[in-house]
Structure 1
Amino acid sequence: MEVLTHEVRTLTELDHVRLERLIRGVGEPAAPQANGAMLAILDGAELVPSRRVLPDVVTMYSQVELADLTTGKRYRLTICYPPDAEPHAGFVSVLSPVGASLLGLRVGSIARWRLPGGEEGAAKVVALLFQPEACGDYTL
């Protein structure tokens, strides 16, 4: 996986702890998708308490509306942990190239990624349709 988005990201402290445990394999075997790209995202992120994250920041289990920069096509995705991923239903793993590229971005940002086959993709975060923290759920 390669994430080509290099802007500052905002993560909640809870998302950061959970993702770091997932990547580093604390309490369970390390995920096979664990890689330097996600560690770089985690290491470079600005951390905020869940109750203080802005409502336009993509957090775990946020549903986003994206606009493909090449085709203009709009689609919706929900960023989730690997066990909950169902790409055909719009649930993408945070460890996938697309999921990792979106985490911590704000509405209006451009996410860029490279798929394992070498294809590059890019999409604008048009809207945040659901963010758990904005709805008062600080533990999802």
Structure 2
Amino acid sequence: MLHTHSIVVSTLDMDRISSLMDKMPKLSPELLRLEDELDRATIKEPQEIPPGVVSMNSTVRFKFQGKDEIMEKHLVYPHEVKSNDDISIFAPVGSALLGLSAGQTLSWPMPGGSEKVIEIIEVTYQPEREGRYDL
């Protein structure tokens, strides 16, 4: 497993994600991996989140290593997915994005048992950077 990062998660995001996961009768292997990542995350108050970290409601540009295509997605909670521009925190790629910063990579399991290395290019919007500590 490739770890070239440590992740940073806000107390607000941690509380909301944990609450949603606690309500699930059973966690998929991908969500168990997210739970493991959250267990080892550095937790900070929203006002202390570094400006380049992917937090909930951030918009992030990323790609899969070995591919040229750069994608841009808005990381949201499952009930907030409204378009193809949104990605749920509970989707495999969404789970992998949380807490990373530009230039960091992470190998993450995908449906069907494969693993892909995700590389963060840029966090184009982050609520905390804009003074939005309530999103």
Whether TM-score is above 0.5 comes out as yes
* Alignment length (residue pairs): 132
Q: 2:11 pairs with 10, 13, 23, which one?
A: 13
Partner residue, 1:107: 102
Q: 3-state SS of the aligned residue for 1:51?
A: helix
TM-score by length of 1: 0.84
In 2, are the aligned partners of 1:80 and 1:93 still within 8 Å (CA)? Answer: yes
1:31-70 equivalences in 2 (<5 Å): 35-70=31-66
How far does residue 31 in structure 1 lie from its aligned partner after superposition? 6.7
Q: 1:78 pairs with 68, 74, 79, which one?
A: 74
| Alignment partners' CA distance in 2, 1:121 and 1:10 | 21
TM-score by length of 2: 0.87
C-alpha offsets along residues 22-49 of structure 1, whole Å, 9 cap, x if unaligned? 1112xxxx27656321221221110111
Q: Segments of 4+ in structure 1 off by > 3 A?
A: 4-7, 31-35
Aligned-residue identity in percent: 27
Q: Which runs of 5+ in 1 are unaligned?
A: none
> Is 1:96 the counterpart of 2:113 in the alignment?
no
> What is the RMSD computed on CA atoms of the aligned residues?
1.8
| Alignment partners' CA distance in 2, 1:46 and 1:96 | 22
Q: 3-state SS of the aligned residue for 2:123?
A: strand
Q: Which runs of 5+ in 2 are unaligned?
A: none
